[in-house]
Amino acid sequence: MSTLPSLTDLPLDAFEPLAEELGEKRFAGKNLARWVFERRARDFLAMSDLSKRFRAALAERHVVRRTAIAADRSDPGGTRAFVLRLADGKTIETVLIPEEARRTVCVSTQVGCPVACVFCASGLDGLIRNLTAGEIIEQVMIVQDALPEGERVSNVVVMGIGEPTMNLTALTQALATWNDPRGLGIGARRITISTVGWPARIDRLTALHKEFGLAISLHAPRQELRERLIPNGGQVPLADLLAAAKRWFAQTGRRVTFEYVLIDGQNASLREAAELAALLAGFPCHVNLIPVNPVEGLPYRRPAPDVIEQFKLTLLRAGIDATVRHPRGDGIAAACGQLRLRVEAEQGAGELAPPAPLAPPASRPTTRPA
């Protein structure tokens, strides 16, 4: 396997200087970025409008990497989970969620996760490493390649394995490449970042001055309960977290979503519902209630349907917008990190599976709006 750096890891602003450095006009760099991100070419041969000399010089210094698909499973509802095997043999998960006309990709930002939420399969082994910017960006391109002709990735949610704001430099580059018309051209309002929430890191995202969506994983309305459910992140004072969320709203004008995983006997009683309503009173936000996905070996279970309903009604009666997100992909273990663990058990970690066959670039749809 080549050890040359991949062009997918390059920031968009680096393509034109690269062309100049290799003796080409700047526009050749612009064309190169188009081939890499918009047209998703896999090798330099396919880049037919670049000079042979430029392509030969590029091939000496770079590759166009595409992370391999180790497993690809679908459930009857259309949710499709991909286990991707990185160049060093580590695995991550990427999930396609089709919903009406939307094609949403849920991407990972780390191998493993340092936050260790007690109910999550991905936190079981802690953090193994950060993904590079290219490894994050490519997940959207891989899903786009796997879609039928005429369908395109419309939304991206950074909610897969890992805590995105703990890999902020790579995340910021990925957001720019997905959003920029020179990259994948996906609108900022169609990209959502989910974080457990550290005020300084939320402020860094606020400072991007982009209308991305922000989702904060709250999971508890009181400090001690949140610290218990989120061992490596729940310590941030709730008042500071909410203050950062309000700064985000003031800058972007976008409502913050609070994610709240409902766990039977832990955080799903009417007491917690009333406390959550009091905590969020007056703040324009949305609460996404997510019945926990059971994980093999962990004792956490979903509350009964009427308990979930009462929790939601308590919030609605207090004037807080709340919905229940019904779990998808149970049959393929699409909940954060579970399919990856299953595939590692079946295939072993570290063996490289061959990539799935793909259509030639010309017949593949781009990610751009029609």
State the nearest-atom distance from the C-beta of 100 to ligand SF4, in Å: 26
Q: Are 329 and 79 in contact (CB under 8 A)?
A: yes
Is 336 known to be catalytic? yes
User: Could you tell me which of 98, 70, 124 has the C-alpha nearest to residue 329?
Assistant: 98
Q: From the list 163, 259, 272, 344, which residue makes contact with ligand SF4 (rule: CB under 6 A)?
A: 163
Q: Does 290 bind ligand SF4 (CB under 6 A)?
A: no
Q: Does 116 bind ligand SF4 (CB under 6 A)?
A: yes
Here's the x/- map for ligand SF4, 312-341, by CB under 6 A: it reads as: ------------------------x-----
* Catalytic residue chosen out of the listed positions 24, 93, 135, 344: 93
Here's the x/- map for ligand SF4, 180-199, by CB under 6 A: it reads as: ----------------x---
Q: Does 161 bind ligand SF4 (CB under 6 A)?
A: yes
Q: Are 96 and 80 in contact (CB under 8 A)?
A: yes
Q: Does 16 bind ligand SF4 (CB under 6 A)?
A: no
Q: Does 128 bind ligand SF4 (CB under 6 A)?
A: no
Q: From the list 31, 67, 122, 252, which residue makes contact with ligand SF4 (rule: CB under 6 A)?
A: 122
* Catalytic residue chosen out of the listed positions 113, 117, 285, 336: 336
Mode of pairing for the β-strands spanning 102-106 and 155-158: parallel
Q: From the list 18, 63, 123, 236, which residue makes contact with ligand SF4 (rule: CB under 6 A)?
A: 123
Q: Taking contact as CB under 6 A, which single stretch among the options 49-57, 111-119, 285-293, 327-335 is the one that binds ligand SF4?
A: 111-119
Question: Both ends of the chain: CA-CA distance in Å?
Answer: 37
* Total residues at interface with ligand SF4 (CB under 6 A): 12
Q: From the list 92, 120, 153, 335, which residue makes contact with ligand SF4 (rule: CB under 6 A)?
A: 120
Is 106 known to be catalytic? no
Q: Does 288 bind ligand SF4 (CB under 6 A)?
A: no
Distance, in Å, from the CA atom of 335 to the CA atom of 338, rounded to the nearest integer, reads 6
Q: From the list 86, 97, 105, 115, which residue makes contact with ligand SF4 (rule: CB under 6 A)?
A: 115
Interface positions with ligand SF4 (CB under 6 A): 113, 115-117, 120, 122-123, 161-163, 196, 336
Catalytic residues: 93, 336
